[in-house]
């Protein structure tokens, strides 16, 4: 972990008042209210609560930061959380289908991707909460994410 990442984690721990128990990164994020983040979200667990938070992506070439585009929309920070105990279901779905579903409220319900489809198409992890809210994560470590959720679902 480089110094900037270490400092960022320490800031989060100070903000939440507790050490982070587990963390991963999601390359893509979507939520059933239409929120989408194409540039990634940090996902971390403190106790039985999963937090997600994005940060402003800095454009760069070969490590050199480029100036912001003058017509670029202002960055609006995304922060949220959910209880691991309130996760109803976790499954993989095709990313393109999830993106379409998020843009089109009248789209048909999403179906879990079969193992063959998951090999052939880009997938995301769909989390359905007890209240019906759905979130989509393109996780770097899906197995560890499921294990983190399961340890609180079984408790």
Q: Quick check: 88 pLDDT over 80?
A: yes
Closest CA to 72 of 35, 106, 39, 102: 39
Across the chain, mean pLDDT equals 88
Average pLDDT over residues 97-102: 94
CA-CA distances (angstroms) from residue 150 to 31, 37, 87, 111, 122? 21, 26, 9, 22, 24
Residue 44 — pLDDT band, cuts 50, 70, 90? very high
Number of residues that this document lists for the chain: 155
Residue 30's SS3 state is strand
Cα dihedral 35→123→86→141 (10° resolution): -110
19-154, CATH topology level: PH-domain like (2.30.29)
pTM of the entire predicted model: 0.85
Q: Identify whether the C-beta of residue 42 lies closer than 8 Å to the C-beta of residue 145.
A: no
Q: What is the dihedral of CA 88, 89, 93, 99, to 10 degrees?
A: 10
Break the chain into its structural domains and give their ranges: 19-154
Q: Are 126 and 136 in contact (CB under 8 A)?
A: yes
Phi, psi angles (nearest 5°) of residue 72 = -70, 135
> Looking at residue 112, what is its pLDDT?
93
Q: How confident is the model at residue 99 (pLDDT cuts 50, 70, 90)?
A: very high
């Amino acid at each position: 972990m480089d110094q900037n990442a270490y400092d960022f984690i320490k800031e989060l721990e100070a903000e939440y008042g507790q050490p982070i128990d587990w963390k991963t990164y999601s390359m893509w994020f979507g939520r059933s209210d239409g929120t989408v983040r194409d540039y990634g979200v940090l996902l971390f667990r403190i106790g039985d609560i999963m937090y997600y938070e994005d940060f402003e992506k800095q454009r760069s070439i070969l490590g050199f930061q480029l100036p912001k585009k003058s017509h670029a929309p202002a960055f609006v920070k995304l922060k949220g959380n959910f209880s691991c105990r309130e996760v109803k279901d976790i499954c993989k779905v095709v990313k393109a289908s999830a993106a379409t579903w998020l843009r089109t409220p009248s789209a048909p319900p999403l179906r879990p991707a079969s193992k063959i489809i998951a090999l052939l198409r880009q997938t995301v992890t769909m989390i359905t909460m007890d209240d019906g809210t759905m979130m989509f994560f393109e996780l770097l470590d899906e197995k560890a994410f499921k294990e983190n959720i399961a340890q609180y679902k079984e408790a």
